[in-house]
């Protein structure tokens, strides 16, 4: 196979398949776990050459039975930040990745893999340095531990290794993620069913709905993955927009995109709040000490590695996503 994509039936993996197909690439081995069979829909619209269950794939990797691909895009992982089974998380995210890295380095295969902004916890710095890395959960730790393995191997690496620390990703083909789907996804469905969006009241020093994160559209995530295949630059890089935008911004972008689709005029934030289309609720006790109220990627290293594409704002990206959801729901 020319290309291997792990997590191919997942959110980012499926969007990567789309982009690869658009480039004429179909000699693709898709790897995933379809225990939750509804994820097949993320594969069905794209052209691949073969499919392997993750367990069988890993066994073949261990036995060195797979032909050497040109590149591995490793998107497969458990991304549930609320998962409490540490053994499962470490086996699925850390050990799996470590075995792929061993095979890739031994065979001279470029490896581009998904890391996460969860390594930074509550910040306040979001820069690729050890002093800034303070994960709040075992998911973030599993990603950080593999990043550390990569960092140690980089000086003697035989093939490019690129870790991309995804910030808050949203966009098409994420419905299977359930509660872990993006806030844009949940706002869309909430507004369509209740004619309002609920946000948190003031917390962490931010006013109502003004908690801020670096929201990035999945198309921009895919562009960066393809960039590093074409122009390898080994390292661990933040992949966000470099802009922190508020949950109010996301909610308003969803509401206004839906209003536009209905031929209605856009609201500003005071109008949306006064009309009751944005409602603020008490910050939940269960999230205290576990919530990223602010994230903003330092993209200095990313830009220094040559990725200089313009990335969508929340207003641009969420509007495009809502149009896709209306067409595909």
- Residue tagged active-site, from 96, 139, 141, 237: 139
* Distance in Å from the first CA to the final CA of the chain: 33
**Count of C-beta atoms within a 10 Å radius of residue 61:** 21
Catalytic-residue membership of 327: no
- Residue tagged active-site, from 177, 223, 280, 291: 177
Q: For residue 193, with 0-12 CB atoms within 10 Å meaning exposed, 13-18 middle and 19 or more buried, which class applies? A: exposed
- CA–CA dist 195, 139 (Å, integer): 34
Instruction: Specify the pairing of strand 197-200 against strand 278-281.
Output: parallel
Helix, coil or strand: residue 206: strand
Three-state DSSP string of 207-264: CCCCCEECEEEHHHHHHHHHHHHHCCCCEEEEECCCCCEEHHHHHHHHHHHHHHHCCC
Q: How far is residue 21 CA from its own chain's centroid?
A: 20
Catalytic-residue membership of 223: no
- CA–CA dist 64, 201 (Å, integer): 53
- Catalytic residue positions? 139, 177
């Amino acid at each position: 196979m020319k290309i291997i994509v792990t997590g191919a039936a997942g959110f980012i993996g499926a969007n990567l398949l789309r982009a690869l197909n658009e480039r004429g690439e179909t000699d693709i081995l898709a790897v995933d776990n379809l225990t939750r069979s509804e994820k097949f829909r993320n594969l069905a619209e794209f052209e691949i050459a073969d499919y392997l269950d993750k367990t069988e794939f890993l066994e073949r990797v261990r036995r060195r039975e797979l032909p050497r691909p040109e590149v591995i895009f490793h998107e497969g992982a458990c991304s549930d930040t609320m998962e409490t089974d540490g053994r499962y998380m470490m086996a699925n995210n850390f050990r799996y990745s470590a075995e792929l890295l061993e095979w890739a380095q031994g065979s001279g295969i470029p490896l581009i893999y998904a890391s996460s902004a969860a390594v930074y916890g509550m910040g306040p710095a979001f820069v690729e340095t050890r002093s800034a890395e303070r994960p709040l959960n075992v998911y973030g730790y599993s990603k950080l531990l593999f990043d550390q393995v990569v960092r140690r191997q980089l000086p003697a690496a035989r093939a490019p290794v690129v870790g991309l620390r995804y910030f808050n990703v949203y966009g098409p083909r994420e419905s299977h993620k359930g509660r872990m789907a993006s806030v844009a996804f949940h706002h869309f469905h909430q507004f369509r069913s209740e004619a309002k969006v609920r946000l948190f009241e003031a917390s962490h020093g931010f006013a109502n709905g003004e908690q801020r994160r670096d929201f990035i559209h999945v198309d921009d995530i895919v562009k960066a993955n393809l960039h590093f295949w074409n122009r390898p630059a080994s390292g661990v890089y933040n992949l966000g927009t470099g802009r922190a935008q508020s949950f109010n911004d996301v909610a308003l972008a969803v509401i206004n995109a839906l209003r536009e689709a209905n031929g209605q005029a856009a609201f500003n934030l005071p109008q949306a709040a006064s009309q009751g289309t944005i409602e603020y609720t008490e910050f939940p006790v269960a999230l205290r000490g576990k919530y990223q109220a602010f994230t903003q990627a330092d993209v200095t290293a990313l830009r220094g590695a040559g990725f200089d594409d313009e990335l969508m704002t929340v207003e641009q990206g969420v509007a495009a996503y809502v149009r896709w959801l209306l067409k595909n729901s």
